[in-house]
């Protein structure tokens, strides 16, 4: 059985301590915007200015340099 994002976030190191605060998990989940990408899609390029944080919830990603 696959875990939901609500169940998975507390297991991710950078979120583990934060989600222990009352209401924090709900606040973080409210900020997330799920996206899907088709195979072969370039999500970002090396050196590009970034304004996002991606959490891989399902599937695989390949990183090339």
Q: Mind listing the pLDDT tens digit for each residue in 11-28?
A: 989 888 888 889 999 999
9/23 Cα distance (integer angstroms): 14
CB neighbour class for 24 (10 Å; exposed up to 12, middle 13-18, buried from 19): middle
Check residue 61 and give its pLDDT: 92
Report helix, strand or coil for 16.
helix
Instruction: Please answer whether residues 45 and 64 qualify as being in contact, where contact means their C-beta atoms are separated by less than 8 angstroms.
Output: no
Percent of all residues in the chain with a pLDDT value above 90, rounded to a whole number:
45
Check residue 27 and give its pLDDT: 94
Predicted structure pTM score: 0.68
Which of 65, 46, 45, 44 is CA-nearest to residue 54?
Answer: 44
Instruction: Please answer whether residues 54 and 11 qualify as being in contact, where contact means their C-beta atoms are separated by less than 8 angstroms.
Output: no
């Amino acid at each position: 059985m696959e875990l939901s994002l609500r169940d998975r976030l507390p297991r991710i190191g950078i979120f583990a301590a934060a989600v222990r605060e009352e209401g924090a998990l709900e606040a973080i989940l409210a900020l997330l915007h799920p996206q899907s990408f088709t195979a072969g899609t370039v999500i970002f390029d090396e050196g590009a200015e970034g304004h996002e944080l991606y959490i891989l919830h399902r599937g695989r990603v390949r990183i090339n340099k």
